[in-house]
Chain A
Amino acid sequence: MSAVLARFRPRSGVQLSQEQVVLLVVVALFMVFSFVLDGFLSVNNLLNLARSVSALGILSVGMAVVVIARGMDLSIVASMGVATAISIQLMQTQASTPVALLVGLGVVLLMGVFNGFLIAFVEIPALFATLASGLLVYGLARTTVLDGLIAELPGDRTFVRWLGQGAVLGIPVPILVFLVVAVLAQFMLGRMRTGRFIYAHGDNAGAAALTGVSVRPYTTIEYMLSAAIGFVGGLVVAGSVGGLNTQVIDGSLVYDVLLVVVVGGISLVGGRGSVLSVVVGTALIGVMLNGMTILNMNTHEKDIVKGLILLSALVLDNRLHPRDEETVRQGD
């Protein structure tokens, strides 16, 4: 909503939106890395960079949907991982690819419904609900459904492999998938009623409810959407590395997703930012991760750096979009 209002605000001088600032930072970082780091500025590396972060970008689009609605889905990686692993496990049997994919989709949608129920109807703060539901679904899957830690994609499932490893006109398919998801999400958020309602919900849930938005069902829809988009990201991951290591759920991927969203300018107070924010955020994190890899940093060092950046992003976001700290509920 504020994005709409901002257009009518008189502008004096040069005012940059957060996306533009981030974009400038990306360009600056890009240039610095190009000069400083050997082998950064090569078509190969750049395509590699883009391909490696596109799965992260897709997940971030999913997260963006709920964050715009003033929610948070910490279970996005868990539901993605579990659903993808179940899909792959089905593919190892006689099941056809569409059936396997549908089952996976069903799992994530169910997960979205569960999250939505906990958050909208039981009124558990989103952070708690999704933190616990992520652990729950991973634990359940591990104890009942999944065979091992690593689900290997059979070689004959070409569609999924193509999603991760194929190329159209020289452009890797993951990048295209990311772009398609981004465009669709932007269309949904910006042009469709559902999207506008999501913004309204995030901007002021009480006002949205009063004007007739069915906030509770919408919350459920938001988490279903987020989980479904996450599933696409999971398939891309599975396709590109030929399987899925479910340990990714325990890892720090969800922090990367959070980092992309918050750094890109989708404020945690809700109702702000767009898919464009996710794109520039992904670009920034992609460049950063790539730079860190070339610098030969190990995972732990990367974790520390990412954590520190995320911390400062959270603090900054809080400065830019302050909350009424005295009336917030736990977990807001």
Chain B
Amino acid sequence: MTASVTSRRPGPRRPPERNVLENETLGTRLHYLRRKIALQQVFAELFEKRWMEPAIPLTLLVGVVVFFSVATPGFATPENLLSSAAELAELSLVCIGMAVVMISGGIDLSVGSMFGLCNILMILLITLGGVPVPLALLLTLFAGAILGGVNGGIVAYLKARPFLTTLVTLIVFRGVLNLLDLNFSAQTATVFVLDPMWEWLGTGKVAGIPFSFVTLVVVLLIGHVLLSRSRIGWHITAVGASRRAARHAGIKVERVLLLCYVISGALCALAGIFYAARLSSASARVGEGLELNVLTAVILGGISLSGGKGTVWRAFIGAATISLLGKGLLLMNVGGEVLQTALAAVLIVAVGLDIKWGKNRGKAIQKTYVNPTLLRYRPAPDVRRGSGSAYEVNDRLLGAEAIGVGEVEGPEDVVLDSQGRLYCGTRQGWILRFSGRDFEHKEIFARIGGHPLGLGFDAEENLVVCVGGMGLYAVSPDGTPRKLSDETNRDWTRLRDDSRLRLADDLDITPDGKIYFSEATTRFGMADWILDGIEGRPNGRLLCYDPATGTTRTVIRDLVFPNGICSCHDGESLLIAQTWLCRILRYYHSGPNKGRLEIFMDNFPGYLDNINRSSDGGYWIALNGMRSPAYDLAMRMPSFRRRMMKRIPRDEWLYPSMNHGCVVKVSEAGDVLDTYWDPGGEAHATITSMREHDGYLYIGGLENNRVGRIKLSGSGAAQVDNRRPQSSARPVSVN
């Protein structure tokens, strides 16, 4: 049965072609290839990335810049960009204010009027009031804050609707502005101020960059730190994300909301001041319809209407897009009306996308996350009674003694120490120890968390354990757990960061002390690993933890659900049980064949779980469920499985059956020697492991409420070494 498949140099490697049978036609191979490519998966993983959301607006901005640089000759000139920078700075300041308000879950439509009002106020203070420029600046900023405070007060404390409130204050502020303009238009039309600071505000440059733009950068930096690193920023985000939760967490919601509107007002004032200084004039039309530009910019930048999400950078990106779009269209001699129309259309589309995306993002990722691929099996061996096959059903597990019935939940693996005490992991994240003549004494050996799966003792009698959801741990003989590893080297060719261990499954320790362990799947966790069975993709890997260096590295990646790991009797190779492929691989980690990967056994009648050495030089293999013709058929129809997942509820899907299986004993040569069945799975359903010790076979199951043991006939006297195999002893036995 042993067939050499491939031999390559050591290092992270790919296993032999998944399960393409021999003598396949070219068509079938192409079919496999097509099923191997998973664009959907790439998209799903791409959209899961956090950087994906700002990436889209940024791409848009780059697109706008590139388009206008190519399409309009005057666009990419330094003069144009510098003059744009001043305008952009003013728009961006207003956008940042709007962004802060929107992150807090509100909206501020009155920004245009506040901008205009502060602009005229600044001019009037200087011309009419004769106030020195610095004082006028402060007063205007204060006035802006007051205007924002009016909005905030009504929204936060009187609990009015932000949208309508600010829509109405828009017209009230605009009315005040119009009145001022009506009465003082002579003073505001053009202003001559001979104050160096005024000059500096309007035309000053720092290293060639307009002063307003420098101010913007400062505001951006401060805003970024405030929003993402300070307490008040977190409060703002919390209020926007969930007002109720924020209140329950003790945040003073009203005060936070008020502050947001005040910030918006003050930033509008700042923008208005720069505008006033730049143009040295004011009119009633300043800032008219600005709210449309600002709203479009902010939403285009990716700040969600629903609140709680966004950064100042996104506001800036949006503002830059809108501002450059306006500038470019102006250079192309397109009228302002067209721009306004386009902005309204963009606003509708962006809001629609924002809402649909926010609502369906999770669903879309979930729907596209599982990507079935093609798996093809040979006909399963007959297991019926009287069939004469090696896997024939028998009743040998029926008489198994039960240990700890009802006291243990989900002992995936069992192991015995040198004193004959029994250890097993449980669903609660504990490791239980049974001792006494009939294992009647139970104690909690260690509490780790996660779901302890594969177990093994190292040379110092430490219990090494694979914890599903946590990684690789070691428990010292006195019961103190210690983390060995929870990460490995990342595969940089993947979008998804797979450095964390999500589902460490089984382990074995080689004679040189290295701990080889499997991670069954990197795409699913302890709760939904069965989905990996529907997918059938090579998502797992073989890892190696070296106690000498304390590091973990990936030995083989792209394995289809590697489950059981067993160091062979020769001490220089490993057996890797692949659950969904019903296949066992043999990997040489040292010796003359180092790096060689071959198929040890293939085409089991059921899904494989753990493997362990037997006392007589063979191996025990657990089958946690039997294959069925229906599911075998489903596995060669990926689109069928995809359709199944889309169209019917999850509890009606076809799954690989995980109900009753058996324990199979095989020889070193890969021949089936014996089977142990519990037909119907009455005491031992979903057998996931077995361990031979002192003439007994101990049986564990992932879903079981007991550990079972049966006395082995024949090899009763033999003893298997469950600790590290002696490198000298070839067919291991005798302690």
Contact = CB atoms under 8 A, between A and B. Distances in A.
B439 interface: no
Interface stretch (B27-35, B162-170, B185-193): B162-170
Contacts of B341: 135-136, 139-140, 142-143
Contacts of B179: 298, 300-301, 304
Contacts of B163: 125, 127-128, 330-331
Interface magnitude class on chain B: 35 or more
B178 interface: yes
A303 B175 contact: yes
Interface stretch (B314-322, B349-357, B659-667): B349-357
B306 A124 contact: no
Most buried by B among A118, A136, A299, A306: A136
B175 A307 contact: yes
Contacts of B345: 136
B444 to A, nearest CB: 43
Interface in A228-267: 252, 255, 258
Interface in B136-190: 154, 158-161, 163-165, 167-169, 171-172, 174-176, 178-179, 182
Interface stretch (B332-340, B519-527, B714-722): B332-340
A255 B168 contact: yes
B306 A329 contact: yes
Contacts of B338: 139, 143
A118 B348 contact: yes
A73 to B, nearest CB: 13
A308 interface: yes
Interface in B77-129: 105-107
A322 interface: yes
Contact of B158 (A127, A299, A315): A315
Interface residues of A, number: 44
A156 interface: no
A298 B178 CA distance: 10
B474 to A, nearest CB: 48
Most buried by B among A74, A123, A322, A326: A326
Contacts of A327: 243-244
B344 interface: yes
Contacts of B343: 135
B243 A326 contact: yes
Contacts of B335: 143
A106 B106 CA distance: 36
B176 A325 contact: no
Given A315-B158, A318-B158, A300 B175 contact: yes
Nearest to B352: A122
A179 interface: no
Given A308-B172, A330-B305, A303 B178 contact: yes
A322 B159 contact: yes
A307 B351 contact: no
A325 B243 contact: yes
Contacts, number: 125
Contact of B174 (A301, A303, A315, A329): A303
Contacts of A118: 348, 352
A142 B336 CA distance: 11
A306 B171 CA distance: 9
Contacts of B176: 300, 304
B359 A123 contact: yes
A236 to B, nearest CB: 24
Contacts of B165: 311, 314
Given A118-B348, A318-B158, A330 B105 contact: yes
Contacts of A128: 163, 305, 347, 351
Contacts of A326: 243-244, 247
Given A135-B344, A140-B341, A123 B182 contact: no
B337 A310 contact: no
A142 B335 CA distance: 11
A285 to B, nearest CB: 15
A122 B154 contact: no
A122 B161 contact: no
A133 B337 CA distance: 15
A132 B175 contact: no
Interface string A113-148: 000001000111101110011011001101100000
Most buried by A among B163, B174, B292, B335: B163
A123 B171 contact: no
A255 B243 CA distance: 29
A29 B469 CA distance: 73
Contacts of B351: 124, 128-129, 132
Nearest to B244: A326
Nearest to B334: A143
Contacts of B305: 125, 128, 330-331
A133 B244 CA distance: 32
Interface in B466-513: none
Contacts of A80: none
Contacts of A299: 178
Contacts of A308: 172
A38 interface: no
Contact of A143 (B243, B307, B337, B352): B337
Given A318-B160, A330-B107, A132 B168 contact: no
Nearest to A136: B344
Nearest to B171: A307
Contacts of A310: 168
Given A127-B164, A255-B168, A326-B244, A318 B340 contact: no
Contacts of A314: 160-161, 164-165, 168
A286 B721 CA distance: 98
Nearest to B291: A131
Interface string B46-62: 00000000000000000
A255 B160 contact: no
B336 to A, nearest CB: 10
Contacts of B247: 326
Contacts of A330: 105-107, 163, 305-307
A301 B182 CA distance: 11
Contact of A122 (B159, B164, B340, B355): B355
A74 B342 CA distance: 19
Contact of A132 (B167, B348, B356): B348
B172 A136 contact: no
B206 to A, nearest CB: 37
A123 B244 contact: no
Contacts of B158: 315, 318
A129 B348 contact: yes
Contact of A133 (B105, B161, B340, B348): B348
Interface in B332-391: 335, 337-338, 340-345, 347-348, 351-352, 355-356, 359
Most buried by A among B161, B172, B343: B161
Contact of B348 (A136, A258, A301): A136
Given A128-B305, A307-B171, A314-B164, A300 B182 contact: yes
Contacts of A123: 355-356, 359
A127 B175 CA distance: 22
B393 to A, nearest CB: 53
Interface in A280-332: 298-301, 303-304, 306-308, 310-311, 314-315, 318, 322-323, 325-327, 329-332
Given A307-B168, A314-B168, A315-B158, 17 more contacts: A129-B351, A132-B344, A135-B341, A139-B337, A139-B340, A142-B337, A143-B335, A143-B341, A258-B164, A301-B179, A303-B175, A304-B172, A304-B176, A307-B172, A326-B244, A330-B106, A330-B305
Interface of A: 74, 118, 122-125, 127-129, 132-133, 135-136, 139-140, 142-143, 252, 255, 258, 268, 298-301, 303-304, 306-308, 310-311, 314-315, 318, 322-323, 325-327, 329-332
Please provide the 3 A-B residue pairs with the shortest distance between their CB atoms, ordered closest to farther: A139-B341, A307-B172, A303-B175
21 contacts: A122-B355, A124-B352, A129-B348, A133-B344, A135-B292, A135-B344, A136-B341, A139-B338, A143-B335, A258-B164, A300-B175, A300-B178, A303-B171, A303-B174, A311-B154, A311-B160, A314-B165, A314-B168, A318-B160, A323-B161, A326-B247
